[in-house]
Amino acid sequence: MSALAIMLAPALSLAQTSALPDVSTAPVLAADSTAPATGMPSVMDLPAMIGPKEEYEEDSYAMIEVEEIDREELLDKPMNLARWIMGARLYTYETGHLEPVKEDYSDNTSPASLLTKDADARYPMYLDSYKFVIDLGDYWMINMFEFMNYGARGRAQVFYSDVLQDPNSGQWKAASPIVPFSSDGKVSLYLGALDTRFVMLVIDNMAHGDIGPFSVYGDLKISQMRLAGGSLSQKELDALPLKEREKYRPMRYDWATLHSGCRVSYVSSGDPRYSNAMIDDDMETICQFKQEPETVVIMDLMEERNINRMSMLFSSDPGLFEIYFVHKLPEGLKTESDSGAPPAQIIGESPETIIDGESAYYSPGTGPSPEIYLPSAPGSFGQWLALAQLGQVSDNTTDEIPIKITRLPKEFFRDTKPNLTYVSDGGMNSFRIEFQEITGRWCIIRFRRNFNSPEQGVKIDKPAAGTQSMLMPIKVGPHAYAPAPLSLLGQTSDDDSGIPSGLRIYEVSIFGDIYVIGNALEPVSGVQFGSNSQTSNPGGVPGGGGTPGGPTVPPVDPPPPYVPDPVSP
């Protein structure tokens, strides 16, 4: 378990940390802790970092500008139907009958968290048989069921039905084969092609662990959904008459999603074609950065958003995360002029790339330094993004994609205080922090490798623009796990081992409270939900799908002990 400390700026009087059982000793700041005279947070027993402390020596950060892409091309990725915001509902079967799960966003260990995009959601699994029934809210064409595994081991199978019924009813039909699982990471169950509304996941678990959010995919694309009109903030809701307010229901909405319009705008290293993997509602796609003294990500929420929770799933070296929410981009952010060579090292490419017989890198003053090129990566999880970007480069005649370099002044971090900070001692980890509501359009994530000294922060003397001066944490929930090694395209390596190093971000979630009538999401023009469709769209009709093999009755009692073949060493 990663030892950690949570600091809220500019002052902190209460912080709570929690951890998985039997794994760690994260420091806790007592309720009566006070900040020292310097105004910096009081931090006790910060974890010792391995490796030399690194400082970023340049006056500005070379940021790769992520190319803007047409919505329809960028968002050709399947939409996750197993979400509260899509109108899905969840039932458990732990008391001998179906129990509806209340839509709730406060507890990341409750079954309700399985229908959220919370990167820190963990539902505990004991040695038992579990049945989860998901009502998708309408009939959809589906072909895949996935969930995240953190330490559990057993076997899983998916069933489907046209009506909601008891899990032990013989009317449930097998939609997937039995899939054994023993490694951490994503567990995928292929369903074929089904038109259905109700799906049931049966897990026979044989080792204590946790599982993460569910995913059900089909023909519906992210580009076909958008945030529904008419959603209100708390302030807007309070302004309504009481009878009008009763029509709305609260929802914790994640603004860091592709369907809400959020985009990753700048990254300090790595392949920008994979940058939006951080907000694609897929916790196994990654954005890989180089092993550099500091990594910076700038994310555009598209509008001023009210936010009160952030979670992130990542792998890193020991270091310090600083997170800023601001109303506007830092002053002085500008694209590099034509003088000077582009910093090729920030993307880990070879020192020279040949394009149409000429080098893409030029001597100072001899070429267009703001642009460098990366070869496209076919067959990877980011191909849908890479191809979309490639299609917008009108004068591109090769497999390379142009990259623009923009400079971020270092003064921004010297003059601005972060809203949230998180200290990690490295490895695979996740965190979840709740705080008083603040407002901002841009989220800036700064990771300082091998940096954990609070004394270094005395240069920070004012809060981020437009944020509150005091932020009090409500809940903090860190977790850690050790997944099996993954082979992912787009990774970079800083030594001869081939093992990727540096920061890897799997998913970022930035939540705020909204109030809606009906579902939080709605289809774009020309697309309708499920069997209500009047046009060509991913909705199905009741009973429209075939039966993949003969009906299989889910087990009433846990099956005899069964140890699956290991998926990985």
Both 210 and 90 in a single domain? yes
The whole-number pLDDT of residue 265 equals: 94
d(CA 410, CA 61): 7
Question: How far are the Cα atoms of 48, 276, 435, 442, 451 from residue 4, in angstroms, in the given order?
Answer: 10, 27, 17, 26, 13
CA–CA dist 119, 313 (Å, integer): 5
Same domain, 91 and 213: yes
* Domain shared by 16 and 104, yes or no: no
CB 132 within 8 A of CB 201: yes
User: Are 88 and 33 part of one and the same domain?
Assistant: no
Q: What's residue 64's pLDDT?
A: 92
Boundary-marking domain end, from 170, 196, 219: 219
139 belongs to a structural domain: yes
Q: Does the residue 69 lie in any domain?
A: no
Domain match, 25 and 88 both: no
pLDDT exceeds cutoff 90 at 190: yes
Dihedral pair phi/psi, residue 222, rounded to 5°: -60, -35
Residue 453 identity (one-letter amino acid): S
Domain enclosing residue 167, as ranges: 84-219
CA distance 167 to 131: 7
DSSP state for residue 512 in the 8-state scheme: E
- Which comes out higher in pLDDT, residue 441 or 32? 441
Distance of CA 372 to CAs 100, 336, 351, 366, 475, Å?
A: 53, 12, 11, 14, 43
Residue 140: CATH number of its domain:
2.60.120.260
Q: How far apart are CA 525 and CA 225, in angstroms?
A: 9
CA 317 to each of CA 433, 474, 483: distance values in angstroms, whole numbers, following the listed order = 20, 27, 16
Question: What's phi and psi for 238, nearest 5 deg?
Answer: -65, -25
Do residues 212 and 91 share a domain? yes
Within-domain flag for 369: no
pLDDT in tens, 68-95: 755 444 557 888 999 998 889 999 998 7
From CA 314, how far away is CA 303, in angstroms rounded?
26
Q: Which pLDDT value is given to residue 452?
A: 63
111 and 208 assigned to the same domain: yes
**H/E stretch holding 238:** helix 234-238
Residue whose tokens read 């292929």: 190
Same domain assignment for residues 15 and 97: no
Query: Does residue 403 register a pLDDT over 80?
Result: no
Provide the phi-psi class of 86: left if phi over 0, else alpha when psi is between -120 and 50, else beta. alpha
**Domain final residue, candidates 168, 203, 219:** 219
Top-confidence residue, 20 or 313: 313
> How far is residue 191's CA from residue 172's CA, in Å, rounded to a whole number?
14
Whether pLDDT at 111 is above 90:
yes
Examine the pLDDT at 248 and tell me if it is beyond 50: yes
Instruction: Label residue 238 exposed, middle or buried (CB < 10 Å: 0-12, 13-18, 19+).
Output: exposed
Confidence of residue 56 (pLDDT cuts 50, 70, 90): low
Return the CA Rg of the chain: 24
Say if 225 falls within a structural domain. Answer: no
Distance (Å, whole) CA 238 – CA 365: 59
User: What is the average pLDDT across 376-399?
Assistant: 37
Same structural domain for residues 100 and 41? no
> Residue 200 burial (CB < 10 Å; 0-12/13-18/19+)?
buried
| Size of the chain, expressed as the number of residues it contains | 569
β partners of residue 539: 140
64-73, 349-358, 495-504: which is most confident:
64-73
Q: Which H or E element spans position 143?
A: strand 129-150
Indicate if 38 and 116 belong to the same structural domain.
Answer: no
If asked whether residues 40 and 91 sit together in one domain, one would say no
Contact status, residue 473 vs residue 419, Cβ threshold 8 Å: no
Mean pLDDT value across residues 259-265: 88
Which one has a higher pLDDT value, 195 or 30?
195
* Domain count within the chain: 2
Q: Is residue 569 part of a domain?
A: no
Q: How confident is the model at residue 367 (pLDDT cuts 50, 70, 90)?
A: very low
Say how far apart CA 312 and CA 283 lie, in whole Å. 10
pLDDT band at residue 278 using 50, 70 and 90 as cut-offs: very high
Q: Name residue, tokens 């939900």.
A: 529
Give me the mean pLDDT over the 242-247 stretch: 88
pLDDT at res. 213: 93
pLDDT tens string 197-212: 999 999 999 999 999 9
**Mode of pairing for the β-strands spanning 209-218 and 123-125:** antiparallel
Of 189, 219, 249, which residue is a domain's last? 219
Give domain status of residue 227, yes or no. Answer: no
Does residue 107 form part of some domain?
Answer: yes
| Same-domain check for residues 145 and 42 | no
* Weakest mean pLDDT among 17-21, 328-332, 347-351: 17-21
Is residue 553 pLDDT above 60, yes or no? Answer: no
Which DSSP category does 562 fall into?
A: -
Mean pLDDT calculated for residue range 390-403 = 46
